[in-house]
Structure 1
Amino acid sequence: MAAAPRPRRSVLYMPGSNARALEKGRSLPADGLILDLEDAVAPDAKDSARDQIVSALAEGGYGKREIQIRTNGLNTPWGYADIVAAAKTSADAILLPKVESADTVRQVANIMAAEGAHEDMRIWCMMETPLAMLGAKEIAGAHPKLGGFVMGTSDLAKDLNCAHTPDRLPMITSLGLCILAARAFGLAILDGVHLDLSDDDGFAASCQQGREMGFDGKTLIHPKTIGAANTAFAPSEADVAWARKIIAAFEQAASEGKGVVVVDGKLIENLHVVSAQKLVTMADLIGEMDGA
């Protein structure tokens, strides 16, 4: 069972060791938050960060934001305890770092079941190594609890020994493989971070490319980028108006026994209507999120 449709335009990493950041997350206009126990937390702060995240979620106040807890890997001293603790929270998902096999997903699903994780809690996978790219199909189909992929483009670039170019051509194959696998299994998928916080134009271009490729949204490392990501990954007013127009026209044609209709000179078939309905649904969900 894949993750339910919801806005994921902007998903911000927040260090679990930073109590002020966890508090600020309750008021930021991000669609989602990744409460991080892995890269953003020093080894001597892992245990206290875990406790802080558990306490913050028990306190609540995060509204409609999708909350993921990124744990340490099971091959680390903290990974198992992270998963056990996260499974007992109200978080929407556990995000696993450096997943390279379907077995890892299944192992974590078993831990979650043993610890009584709530029914809607999902597993998400960081896709950030060459082995993950080559195994994307198997990972995507590993378990019904899997909800989505998050691209870890920084680690991926390191392992590929490739450059972070503006067009991201050196990692296009990797991005494409993960998008294919995610969509084949009905999963959500988030684009990797843009590291240069002074490069507004580069960030905007990266968002545009990500949306064009089919990502649901972008992971972020600073609140200043939330607004741009929300704009980039939201359907425009013109897109929504066109979608509503072709839905209405097709429904009218269907009532007259027609399977196709021409709207403003464009042939509209059922497949176009399905896409239009998804867009309108997402626009409505975004309206609810922004209103909240």
Structure 2
Amino acid sequence: MTIDYARNVIRRSRLIMPANVPRFVEKAFLRNADAIVLDLEDSVPDSEKIATRERIRELLPVAGKGGSDVLVRVNHTADLLLGDLEAAIWPGIDGVMLPKVESAGEVLRVEEHISTLEQKRGIRSGHVKIGIIIETAKGMLRLEEIACASARVDSLTLGAEDFSADCGIELGPETYQGMLIPRMNVLIAARACGKIPMGLMGSIATYSDADQLVKNAALAYRHGFLGASCIHPDNVEMLNQAFSPTEEDLAYAHQVIEVFEESIARGRASTKLEGKMIDIPHYEKAKLILDRANKIAQLEEKKKRSREAAIGGL
């Protein structure tokens, strides 16, 4: 069965934690991120990558005890990828983040290896998902085939920093329009294939500028993105709020549903609200907003219960 992850999975915030710093991972469950990423890639020095991945299995339950999904970002290199997957695919993992993807074949090879490890280690078949990160011009050119390569792929992200370096596009307000094109390509491909479109209208590197991060996240949400990664715990709630419907959104959605259903009862499939036409697309969008809010509330309750249980057990 094909899953529309964009409609059924909430992933507003992914908190990236360097897996070689255990004290960061130990506190990650308190941050209320929708997902915690144990990073083996960019935040881990080359000299520590092998030793760090050997600790991933013991870190999985530590990161997951607050109810967040637990992901591992692997190194997508010939010398490290398979070893990273071997170290990461254990009970307690929910997905891997695969950076620098440039073809559907790469996705399928990772999927095959994950399937083997699931079977070997008693993990439900298909449980471990793949989050795709597009970071090169080659990957962008093959975006559609990559996005739809596997039912395991649950999200699509533009790695803006690496992509800008690969293409020579500076990241900044003066190049917003240039970077908007690849960002929207990622979003459209994700939506077409039922994946979660993730990303900011800016760089996650500007984590210390709270006002700018909130603006970038809110703008991304208005463009159709449903979440983003962050590298500092202080950014988590900013993302959670920015990628959630506001009280005003919910109130308006309720009004749209009410007036439209009243119109349908009168035999008409269009009406107006606050001087604007309301028809089927507006009605369907309003239902999606309310459904997303309900799923967010359920996830928040799950995380709250898990955190309370974890704190009580300390």
**TM-score (norm. length: structure 1):** 0.92
Deviation of 1:50 (Å): 1.9
Q: Distance in 1 between matches of 2:213 and 2:75?
A: 28
**Aligned residue among 44, 48, 73 for 1:45:** 48
Greater mean alpha carbon deviation, residues 164-173 or residues 134-143: 164-173
For residues 166-245 of structure 1, the aligned pairs below 5 Å read 166=173, 168-192=176-200, 193-245=203-255
Q: 2:260 matched to which residue of 1?
A: 250
**Aligned residue among 36, 39, 44 for 2:39:** 36
**Are the aligned partners of 2:60 and 2:70 in contact in 1 as well (CA < 8 Å)?**
no
Greater mean alpha carbon deviation, residues 53-62 or residues 132-141: 53-62
Distance 1:257 1:92, change over 3 A: farther
- Aligned-partner residue type, residue 216 of structure 2: S
Q: 1:150 matched to which residue of 2?
A: 157
**Are the aligned partners of 2:157 and 2:186 in contact in 1 as well (CA < 8 Å)?**
no
**Are the aligned partners of 1:128 and 1:153 in contact in 2 as well (CA < 8 Å)?**
yes
Tell me if 1:72 matches 2:75: yes
- Aligned-partner residue type, residue 111 of structure 1: H
Distance 1:158 1:63, change over 3 A: same
Q: Distance in 2 between matches of 1:186 and 1:43?
A: 35
Distance 1:162 1:272, change over 3 A: same
Tell me if 1:24 matches 2:31: no
Greater mean alpha carbon deviation, residues 38-47 or residues 199-208: 199-208
- Aligned-partner residue type, residue 137 of structure 1: E
Deviation of 1:107 (Å): 0.5
Deviation of 1:62 (Å): 3.3
Runs of 5+ unmatched residues, structure 2: 305-314
**Aligned residue among 291, 295, 299 for 1:285:** 295
- Aligned-partner residue type, residue 125 of structure 1: I
Greater mean alpha carbon deviation, residues 51-60 or residues 178-187: 51-60
Q: Distance in 2 between matches of 1:201 and 1:102?
A: 38
Tell me if 1:266 matches 2:268: no
Deviation of 1:101 (Å): 0.3
Tell me if 1:137 matches 2:144: yes
**Aligned residue among 11, 15, 19 for 1:12:** 15
- Aligned-partner residue type, residue 274 of structure 2: D
Match of 1:106, SS state, is helix
Deviation of 1:25 (Å): 1.1
Q: Distance in 1 between matches of 2:288 and 2:199?
A: 20
Match of 2:190, SS state, is helix
Q: 1:163 matched to which residue of 2?
A: 170
Match of 1:115, SS state, is helix
Q: Distance in 2 between matches of 1:189 and 1:109?
A: 20
Match of 1:158, SS state, is helix
Runs of 5+ unmatched residues, structure 1: none
Deviation of 1:202 (Å): 2.3
**Aligned residue among 113, 120, 131 for 1:124:** 131
Match of 1:30, SS state, is coil
**Are the aligned partners of 1:164 and 1:170 in contact in 2 as well (CA < 8 Å)?**
no
Match of 2:54, SS state, is helix
**Are the aligned partners of 2:36 and 2:63 in contact in 1 as well (CA < 8 Å)?**
no
Q: 1:83 matched to which residue of 2?
A: 85
**Are the aligned partners of 1:166 and 1:206 in contact in 2 as well (CA < 8 Å)?**
no
